[in-house]
Structure 1
Amino acid sequence: MESRVLSRKRRRIELDTSGFVILRIQNPPSLKSDSIRLKSDFIHLKSDSLYTIGRCNRHCDFVCNDSRISNRHCQILFDSIENKLFVIDGFVENCYSSSEIGDFFRIRKCCNKEGFTRASTNGVFVNGVRVTKGGVFELFVGDSVSFVKTRVKSEPSFGFLVEKIVRKEDVLGCNQIGYSGGSSSNSKWLQGECRKTVVGGFGFGGRRRNEHLIDRAVFLLNQCRETLHSVDPVSHLRRCCMLLNKERKMARIQNGHSAAVCGSGDGRVGSTDVVGGGLRCGSVKAVSGENDIDLSSKTDMKVPGASSGKKFYLNRVKFMDHDNQHEVVSLPELLHPVATLSRMFIATFTNDVLWFLSYCEVPNHLPITIACHNTERCWSSDLDKRTSTPYPEYPNLVLVYPPFPEVIAFGKDRKRQGIACHHPKLLVLQREDSIRIVVTSANLVSKQWNDVTNTVWWQDFPRRNEPDYSSLFTHFTDGDVGFKSDFAAQLAGFVASLISDVPSQGQWIAELTKYDFSGAVGHLVASVPGMHKHNNPFPLEPVNFLSNQAEHRSSWSISTKFLGSVEASVVGLKHRFHTSADSNGAQLKTLAAFLRRCRENVFGMSEVVLRRNTKIPADSNAVSVLICDLDEASEGDYIQLGFLPRNIANWVAPLCDAGLFSFTACIYPKEALAAALEGSNSKVQLILYVAQGPNFHEISTMIKPAHVAAICSLLASVQRCSGIWRLREVLDQYKWPELLETDFIYGSSSIGTSIDPKFLAAFSAAAGKKSLQYPDSEESDPEWGIWNANQEARNPSMRILFPTIQRVKAAPCGIWPSRRLLCFSEKTWQRLRTVDMLRDSVPHPKCRVGYPMHVKVARRRFKSKTGKSSFGWVYCGSHNFSPAAWGRPVAAPSVERTDKSAGTTSCPSSRLHICNYELGIVFVVPPSDKNSKSTDLDDIVLPFVVPAPKYRQCDRPATAQAMREALAELGELEKKILESQAGEEAEEMMAMMEEGIPEEEELVELTTYVSEEKDEEKAYAETLWVQVDSSEG
């Protein structure tokens, strides 16, 4: 150890010339250690030694058992070269030389970028101000550091106070700063097993009068020096003002205390424990005040004005200065003023709820529903696992885990799970006079709002004078002139699909009826997992309706308002037709005779009779399904086929009993007869048609909580176009001139592994692509004009934007952040490299170049004949470019075509296999007349450069394999840092990964789809049949 002998008038003393720091533990518990006994509230840290605070005994010098603290929560370093004390949110491995560590902290302090640290979970707070996640912050005398946010203002902050910073020159020239020598006998430092005398007035023997004023002056001088040397003096001054305005309690070291030296010559220390969940001299749980704010975002917060909804914005990120090329917005700005919010609904993939509540200063009384992904819960059939309330401090906050349907599970077995993901990013912000809908590509985590480029769209909608439940069932074609916006119906249907298993959350549907969405500029495009079928047209002349008057016969009239259809089934059909119940086949013959006489509509379906069974004890909501000769129907001239499934009857019964809705239904007669035969286990398909009931227009005055939950289930069940079928529904309203197309692009942070010409053709056809370029080769085809897989293979219709590995490697933040966001398999790259399809994704505006993008944006652009304007459409939202997100068309086995030249998008009997919940918005600028004034599509600024640069021969996309190879080329220091990050808190790391869900098995069993009756449906029907038979007997 370097030392120097100083001469004084009366004596010679030996001084330790290295600097040190004295920290005072705030609200400390009792401390203990295997190597040292800590009986003090003070800690002495040596310069150029890296100290770690967290939960992990192995890696930390100070350990805390509190679950809110990360394994390695933060690190502290006193740099003797610059004489600065740093704290870092998270950690960097303490396995390098002191000079390397100091260089690392100095570089991180200047650029303040992430990528080489592992941030803490709940943050580090300096004087109540949150340090940037993974960022480095300089500490001064008097600064209070805490490790998590307190829930109430009165709760004590737990962490430490910077009591004294003694620099190297201060030790060598102590008399120059006003300190006098002091007795060494009253100041003892404990280090390992030995004690060392410290002289020169730097012990705990006592404090000089007015010394707190000196500390304050030193603090202010340090702030001035930092301002002069900072890259952005204005921002530094603003931050200083925030710090100085905080009320700080400058703790004083009292006589009689000693400080523990945690460290040895090599900078490593034994772990010390804090009893009772406090600091174990290795694990400190940081606590801060109620009014804590985040340094990284709040300083420049602006209140966003009303959005026109005609374009999207980008999120406000902390690494750049914002120019006027593209409007930006932050999450707190979207919620502002948070005090006026009456309730909030959020849908997200990954989430950090505590960060969100703290970051946006959300009141703990506000009702909040957050739908999020959880593989185990979303696949579970246990309805109790659909929700959780994990935050007692926020009693009105509920986490909802939307269900994944069994039909998309491997082997249709829910226990085996499957490829599925709850992936939307939606915020519904309700106020008394308006409601704000936000559709974004950012999950509810700090990194995606503050460090990664994402798209954000929002629009405000006014409150109605009275609720309008008819808006929940609006269709495009409902408008007398042009098209009527179905924004409310699409929004309500999507929200209902997320919360249908949670009746208490059904109130959200009632709330949406209070607002007027007719002014929506964009069109919502949602994906809901399942095996979807094309919507079934309403029968022209239904005769039997189920309403509050039981089943009644009535002629269909123009006043009967059709609202939608639901794909259901008939359960229990085999009960009366199996061998033991119908030994001579009489019942089966009667059924065949009835079915033969049934009138079939143009779709081959026949109407059935629905009847309420209120007197069945097993289920008061039971609904029977009967068939009769509708031409010569008489009392008793019918045969009961079975019942509606329990989950359907549970909402049909209360809605029809109240007269709010009426129902009629159709089946396929041949399908019913086949299911009645012995040995058949196939499900009998039933299409349930929904119409307005006699009391529909009084629904707002008659509705009860049971009705709200039933309407929510109805909306979740109503057939809607989903995925690429919804995209086609929106874009098919216009005629797109193929010869005027200038570009068709899709930029996405994840590219599906099962992309092939069939999916590309299906997506392009849904986007309005036609094959008019090839009239000669397609003229004799009955499906002439539809873009198909053969054409796609010959002439790719679109371009995919994805960053090259060279671009990712050259990023200032390195490879690691992109490795968490980008997903492109090597197999997909090998499949696409021979076609001219890939383009480099270059961020726009220029200030975002070099930083990760998480956007999902598509555009098809046309140039007018005059060349003065552009039109077309733009999509932004959560859909990555994959069949899992958009859906893959699958031909039904009974109608599968043998003509392989035909596309997969035109067969009306095909189904659409979708794996994910997704949500996005489409902006349409239609072709206009010469004299009309319309919006120019180029007014919607894209987040990447267009036209996008082509891949050069040497270029390669940033696939997972390419990024692994690039990481292997890094220097030893960076590699060790990244390896430590990868191994630390693996579960938390997975939560931050956005697109890590594979799709390799997406095609499993798609073509073998056959709907069969479930065991629970059989048991339910059998119970009802037993009670029906006993009542008839």
Structure 2
Amino acid sequence: MAVPLPQQPGPYTSGSLGYFHLRLVGPAPALLLVRTDRLYSLSHSRRCGYRFRLRLLANPHRRRAPDLLLSTYGCDLRLTHRSGIGSPSVNGRPLRAGTPTELAVGDEVSVLRCGARYGFIVERFVSCGGFEVDAASTAGSCAEGLVFRAESLRKRLRAISESEDPLSLLRDCSGIGNLDVDIGPKKWRQDGAAELCLDNPITPASKENVLQGDCNFERDKFDHDFDVVNDGDPELFNGSKGCRDDSSEKPGCGSGNEEQYHSEGCYSDGSTFFLNRLADTGSNTQTEPQSGVTLPQLLHPVNSLVRVFIATFTLDISWFLNYCKIPQHLPVTIACHNKERCWSASSENRTAAPFESHPKLLLVFPRFPEDIAFGKDRKKQGVACHHPKLIVLQREDSMRVIVTSANLVPRQWHLITNTVWWQDFPCRTSPDYAALFSAAKKQKSDFAAQLVSFIASMVNEVRSQAYWITEVAKYDFEGAGGYLIASVPGIHAQSPYLESNYFLSAKHNVHTKSAHRMSFGSVQTSVVGISHRFHIPSDAGKQLRALSAFLGKCRENMYGTTEVILKRNTNIPADANAVSVLVADLDKFSEEDSVQLGFLPREVAKWVAPLSDSGFFDFSGFIYPREALEAAFGVTNTKVQLLLYVSKGPEFSQISRLISNEHFPPLCSLIASLQRCLGLWRLEEVLANIKWPETLEADFIYSASSIGTSINPQFIASFASAAGKRPHQDFDSQESDPEWGCWTANHELKKPSISLLFPTIDRVKKGACGIQLCRNLLSLPEKTWQRLRSTGIFHDAIPQPNARIGYPMHVKVAQRRFKSCFGEHSFGWTYCGSHNFSPAAWGQPLSPPSKANPSKARSAPSSPMLHICNYELGIILIALPPGMSKHASESRHRIEDIALPFVVPPPRYKGSDKPATRLAMREAVAEACVLQGNDVVDLPDDTDEDVPDEDDEQVVELSDCSQQEKEEEKIYAETLWGQIVVLGGSGFVGSAICRAAVSKGIEVVSFSRSGRPSYSDPWVDQVNWLPGDVFYARWDEVLVGATAVVSTLGGFGNEEQMKRINGEANVIAVNAAKENGVPKFILISVHDYNLPSFLLTSGYFTGKRKAESEVLSKYPASGVVLRPGFIYGKRKVNGFEVPLDAVGQPLEKLLSSVENFTKPLSSLPASDLILAPPVSVDDVAYAVINGVIDDSFFGVFTIEQIKEAASKVRV
């Protein structure tokens, strides 16, 4: 919206010239002096970190109107704003864009930016002719002063009374209460007088912080000190960025009281990290005045938070809620470690809500995968830890991401040095879901994709938290100052990019040869149900031959895979999300000419189906043919791998408009399942492609509070190689060597690449709290020290700055620095976060199966794999070599701007130095007890809040990574295969069979011309009703997943009609069932009534006997033929109930009672027309159920045998 600039008045007389005093409200209440004959703009500078700057407008008619315009005329001060600056208000009342608002002495102006309010108070007006107006008096009149004061208070009270949340308005706009009548002019502070900075949010200014004094209004003095710049000049002042140890004069690091300090905000552009502020240790001295950042500072202002997400190892919830003053109804999600819960498979153990006072606070316990458990048995648990330290703060206009090394416990924020990185990201005008899938090698930053995938991996099984995925999409992360480095537990593999031709898209199979589809990545999953599908005795041979024939025709690509068809199965009641996997000759594909291999696992189908049905994503799949054949023939019981590829769907561009709450959990599961680079692979993805000049390397250091048990030259070499380390010249190897040009263990043994920083035991003993604070903070196994001590890689970790000496460090910081050969700035990269130096955190590359034991090798080609035990998160800040910057965020980085928390270069261990291993600390405690004459107290073996479980010394071979099909997956597949299809299910007998099957928990599909019946009994809703004609049916869709077909087809008419309905229709159904691999067929036929042969030649009996013959020939060991007589029951016809049981039931009882007398007559021709007892429709139905569940029940069954079979399953 264009805002016209107000007309400038004519020249001022000396009497009308004056100055308005504008007092910034915040911890540094600077004074701005504004002349009455000038125009000023208060504009927003995103480039300089969301600061506001006051400018003198030399050209009032410039093309672009300012965000906020200050204009003056005599004693009047006007404020005009356009719509771009965001929520400005005067005394709590919002301003209307484009409409000038007059300001009076005492008025307070505030602007909402990045979740916090910043502003100023009109303190007084001073005329050069001696005329002065302030909050206490105006024009020398007490009455007029009271009028000004009353008018200001009236405006504020009106705003409060009209507000929907008056309490919030009172809190946010309380600065006016400090304008006491006896407050005079304050001294003009030149160290920040011209800037509204994010470090200065609105907080009440106390009298103790107001500096009394006079202001010199002489013109020459005024011109010299005038704190504005001409339009186009850079800002005079840079606000404090964070709270660094060298910033004693910067706002936000003052030595004021704790309440004032915590009420301040903090700013960072993401180009460096900071340290936490250590608490005082003595009553009279302050250890580190004006240094570090606190947790309340990071969360300030708490009242503007919309929701909070935290990931931590350990936590003290009560301390956090009280210390940071968390509102009771603020949604807070905390993902944390709990060994029992994280290893549990029960969904009930995923969450906990421990505080009734904070009903929206939810604890989440991310599940550890079973494939990293000991023996792949979850009950045996294993080495795993939820160890990240992440805080995400969502506000309406910004999202702050904090990556730290401190857990959510008080001593890690008050007594122990930790690193803190953070950056604020602005809100988008509309969500960008494509950013959640971007790759690092593209021009766009992949910060959003890495952040959302890490959050998804933790909340994937908690449906109520899936909305976090869509919330991240609302913010712009392209200006991120670094690259996130995440680790997620599991055995991870890298899949090649494969071109697909067939896609599951919006419930349909789409064939395309286009190679321009946007791919979002791949998911490694499996095919379930193969063993059940191909191990049916009556059918296995034919189906196996068909499968072998199709796989033999399939063309394998260079990776040994072949494409399969994914098909939605919407007619399987057992799972509406079922997706089947078909194998076919893709050169001339038709669904009729294919073999169903199995299904997607339930946990995968539950997100593939809704995302595909909605058209948001397309899916395609590849399998290893040899694996599928081995599983089908029973050679192996391991999973059949399926590489599931995800592409942009036809409705992806409309996802912001079409997405609903029901899509959040599937989208979260998809993002959590997508393969991505983690741990060492992520480090390599970010760093290894940069050509680092090895000859210019100055430092390669890593400081960690824990060093893994299994650290050896092989792991160190893997880490160095992933970080871009390369040998200078290697004359001992050839280019044909797969490790040629890579930094290997041999190079590491010859010349160690990394300096490991770990405190010596002497340094720990001399600490402020001695060993007590470090004993469960530091972890270096004695055997690791003994194994690596001769390499010379250990260096002492000396805290920096000096004020931190004596306090333990919990930092995990790595840096590789290079010197410039042209006299320019140094360059390199720096890491900070939660990763300790261990394979558990970064991942252990897995060894391929031994060639000497080929029996252990899988049929699928061995791809690289990485075994990660922990959840971890860190950030890498890159300062590229000169001329190599490809991202805007990289060009602003200077490695000299990053102050490391330890002395560099670190001193190498001397001959007598020993690290603070657990054994060394135990011995030191024993020594101290002896010197003090106390009993020796042994340190407990269990660890507390600071040391993760990293006893990761285990050998994992690639051959051990093949997974067997889980029992629940087998049950799921059998359930999908285990449904019956009732032909004619809406008829009299068919509906009774459907009702009986539902009562026994059997999934039922009814296929009939009439489809769903008109009546609405409760069991009707549990049957999948398919309308259709047997003669024109798509049997592959009708019979998918069927384990039995029950035919009730039959009827009367002329001869040809009866032959067609009773005979041909059933023959077609029998052949279709056989061709589709259905293992059992049950036919409802008819009793022959002992009729003469010439009567049995009618179309009715001829058709029935033809159908019987087809069943018994195609299903000799599983076919069932039931021959009931007259069937009675309550039959519904056109909405009316015909009580056939009123005749049939008494007749059955009568004939049963006289059976002994009528038996001799049964041999007479046609005698059964009178003597054959009727059969209840329920008996027929339960006899069918017995045939479905009892594999020994096959052949032809008479009336008495039908009743006997029914009695076995009738309740």
With the length of structure 1 as denominator, give the TM-score of the two structures. Answer: 0.67
Alpha-carbon distance, 1:929 to partner: 3.0
Query: Could you list the per-position Cα deviations for residues 60-108 of structure 1 after superposition, in whole angstroms to 9, with x for gaps in the alignment?
Result: xxxxxxxxxxxxxxxxxxxxxxxxxxxxxxxxxxxxxxxxxxxxxxxxx
Answer yes or no: is 1:410 the counterpart of 2:364.
no
- 2:881 equivalent in structure 1: 927
Tell me how far apart the structure 2 counterparts of residues 861 and 554 of structure 1 sit (CA, whole Å).
49
Q: 1:295 to 1:936 in 2, by over 3 A?
A: closer
Answer yes or no: is 1:917 the counterpart of 2:903.
no
CA contact (8 A) 1:612 1:622 kept: yes
Alpha-carbon distance, 1:476 to partner: 2.0
CA contact (8 A) 2:849 2:957 kept: no
- 1:783 equivalent in structure 2: 739
Query: Could you list the per-position Cα deviations for residues 259-280 of structure 1 after superposition, in whole angstroms to 9, with x for gaps in the alignment?
Result: xxxxxxxxxxxxxxxxxxxxxx
Alignment of 1:918-997 (within 5 A): 918-929=872-883, 935-971=893-929, 990-992=943-945, 994-997=946-949
- 1:739 equivalent in structure 2: 695
Q: 1:322 to 1:676 in 2, by over 3 A?
A: farther
Q: 1:641 to 1:975 in 2, by over 3 A?
A: farther
Query: Could you list the per-position Cα deviations for residues 13-72 of structure 1 after superposition, in whole angstroms to 9, with x for gaps in the alignment?
Result: xxxxxxxxxxxxxxxxxxxxxxxxxxxxxxxxxxxxxxxxxxxxxxxxxxxxxxxxxxxx
Q: 1:556 to 1:891 in 2, by over 3 A?
A: farther
Alpha-carbon distance, 1:732 to partner: 2.4
* Equivalent of residue 460 in structure 2, options 490, 496, 500: 500
CA contact (8 A) 1:454 1:854 kept: yes
Query: Could you list the per-position Cα deviations for residues 863-902 of structure 1 after superposition, in whole angstroms to 9, with x for gaps in the alignment?
Result: 111244211110000000000000000034388999xxxx
- 1:96 equivalent in structure 2: none
Q: 1:295 to 1:645 in 2, by over 3 A?
A: farther
Pick 1 or 2: higher relative contact order, CA cutoff 8 A, min separation 6.
1
1:834 counterpart SS class: helix
Tell me how far apart the structure 1 counterparts of residues 739 and 392 of structure 2 sit (CA, whole Å).
42
Alpha-carbon distance, 1:578 to partner: 2.1
Tell me how far apart the structure 2 counterparts of residues 473 and 841 of structure 1 sit (CA, whole Å).
39
In structure 2, runs of 5+ residues without a counterpart are: 1-205, 209-254, 855-860, 980-1040, 1046-1072, 1079-1211
Alignment of 1:653-802 (within 5 A): 653-778=609-734, 781-802=737-758
Tell me how far apart the structure 1 counterparts of residues 833 and 734 of structure 2 sit (CA, whole Å).
35
Answer yes or no: is 1:424 the counterpart of 2:388.
yes
1:478 counterpart SS class: coil
- 1:316 equivalent in structure 2: 277
1:816 counterpart SS class: coil
Moved more, 356-365 or 737-746: 737-746
Answer yes or no: is 1:361 the counterpart of 2:325.
yes
Answer yes or no: is 1:474 the counterpart of 2:474.
no
Query: Number of residues paired by the alignment?
Result: 721
Tell me how far apart the structure 2 counterparts of residues 296 and 370 of structure 1 sit (CA, whole Å).
30
- 1:1022 equivalent in structure 2: 974
- 1:510 equivalent in structure 2: 470
Alpha-carbon distance, 1:702 to partner: 1.2
From the CA coordinates, give the structure whose radius of gyration is larger: 2
* Equivalent of residue 491 in structure 2, options 531, 542, 559: 531
* Equivalent of residue 399 in structure 1, options 344, 358, 363: 363
Q: 1:730 to 1:629 in 2, by over 3 A?
A: same
Alpha-carbon distance, 1:564 to partner: 1.2
Alpha-carbon distance, 1:477 to partner: 3.1
Tell me how far apart the structure 2 counterparts of residues 1001 and 417 of structure 1 sit (CA, whole Å).
15
Give the counterpart letter for 1:445 in structure 2: V
* Equivalent of residue 441 in structure 1, options 405, 410, 434: 405
Tell me how far apart the structure 1 counterparts of residues 420 and 955 of structure 2 sit (CA, whole Å).
32
2:275 counterpart SS class: strand
Alpha-carbon distance, 1:579 to partner: 5.9
Alignment of 1:103-252 (within 5 A): none
CA contact (8 A) 2:564 2:584 kept: yes
CA contact (8 A) 1:380 1:414 kept: yes
Q: 1:977 to 1:571 in 2, by over 3 A?
A: same
CA contact (8 A) 2:620 2:644 kept: yes
User: Identity, % of aligned pairs?
Assistant: 54
Tell me how far apart the structure 2 counterparts of residues 299 and 577 of structure 1 sit (CA, whole Å).
73
* Equivalent of residue 589 in structure 1, options 540, 545, 558: 545
Tell me how far apart the structure 1 counterparts of residues 531 and 459 of structure 2 sit (CA, whole Å).
33
1:970 counterpart SS class: helix
Tell me how far apart the structure 2 counterparts of residues 332 and 365 of structure 1 sit (CA, whole Å).
18
Query: Could you list the per-position Cα deviations for residues 156-197 of structure 1 after superposition, in whole angstroms to 9, with x for gaps in the alignment?
Result: xxxxxxxxxxxxxxxxxxxxxxxxxxxxxxxxxxxxxxxxxx
Give the counterpart letter for 2:521 in structure 1: G
Alpha-carbon distance, 1:509 to partner: 0.6
1:662 counterpart SS class: strand
Query: Could you list the per-position Cα deviations for residues 833-881 of structure 1 after superposition, in whole angstroms to 9, with x for gaps in the alignment?
Result: 1111000000011110111000000011111112442111100000000
Query: Could you list the per-position Cα deviations for residues 213-264 of structure 1 after superposition, in whole angstroms to 9, with x for gaps in the alignment?
Result: xxxxxxxxxxxxxxxxxxxxxxxxxxxx999xxxxxxxxxxxxxxxxxxxxx
Give the counterpart letter for 1:677 in structure 2: F
Q: 1:297 to 1:380 in 2, by over 3 A?
A: farther
Tell me how far apart the structure 2 counterparts of residues 850 and 303 of structure 1 sit (CA, whole Å).
28
- 1:580 equivalent in structure 2: 537
CA contact (8 A) 1:535 1:721 kept: no
Answer yes or no: is 1:838 the counterpart of 2:799.
no
Give the counterpart letter for 1:556 in structure 2: S
Answer yes or no: is 1:519 the counterpart of 2:479.
yes
Answer yes or no: is 1:565 the counterpart of 2:565.
no
Q: 1:297 to 1:582 in 2, by over 3 A?
A: farther
Query: Could you list the per-position Cα deviations for residues 332-372 of structure 1 after superposition, in whole angstroms to 9, with x for gaps in the alignment?
Result: 00000000000000000010011000000000000000000
Q: 1:546 to 1:977 in 2, by over 3 A?
A: farther
Give the counterpart letter for 1:837 in structure 2: I
2:783 counterpart SS class: helix
Tell me how far apart the structure 1 counterparts of residues 315 and 552 of structure 2 sit (CA, whole Å).
57
Q: 1:837 to 1:596 in 2, by over 3 A?
A: same
Give the counterpart letter for 1:785 in structure 2: G
Tell me how far apart the structure 1 counterparts of residues 380 and 700 of structure 2 sit (CA, whole Å).
39
Query: Could you list the per-position Cα deviations for residues 461-512 of structure 1 after superposition, in whole angstroms to 9, with x for gaps in the alignment?
Result: 0000001111110112333xxxx21000000000000000001100111111
- 1:328 equivalent in structure 2: 292
Give the counterpart letter for 2:726 in structure 1: K
Q: 1:945 to 1:581 in 2, by over 3 A?
A: farther
- 1:184 equivalent in structure 2: none
Tell me how far apart the structure 2 counterparts of residues 452 and 864 of structure 1 sit (CA, whole Å).
35
- 2:773 equivalent in structure 1: 817
CA contact (8 A) 2:709 2:953 kept: no
Give the counterpart letter for 1:1008 in structure 2: D
Regions of 4+ moved over 4 Å: 294-297, 320-327, 776-780, 894-898, 930-934, 971-980, 1004-1007
Give the counterpart letter for 1:526 in structure 2: A
2:296 counterpart SS class: helix
Alpha-carbon distance, 1:582 to partner: 4.0
Tell me how far apart the structure 2 counterparts of residues 978 and 941 of structure 1 sit (CA, whole Å).
41
Alpha-carbon distance, 1:319 to partner: 3.6
Q: 1:975 to 1:352 in 2, by over 3 A?
A: farther
- 1:1010 equivalent in structure 2: 962
Give the counterpart letter for 1:520 in structure 2: A
- 1:307 equivalent in structure 2: 268
2:588 counterpart SS class: coil
Give the counterpart letter for 1:525 in structure 2: I
Q: 1:970 to 1:926 in 2, by over 3 A?
A: same
In structure 1, runs of 5+ residues without a counterpart are: 1-240, 244-293, 899-906
Give the counterpart letter for 1:382 in structure 2: S
Tell me how far apart the structure 2 counterparts of residues 834 and 618 of structure 1 sit (CA, whole Å).
63
Q: 1:571 to 1:793 in 2, by over 3 A?
A: same
Alpha-carbon distance, 1:308 to partner: 1.0
Q: 1:850 to 1:639 in 2, by over 3 A?
A: same
CA contact (8 A) 1:419 1:1002 kept: no
CA contact (8 A) 1:578 1:676 kept: yes
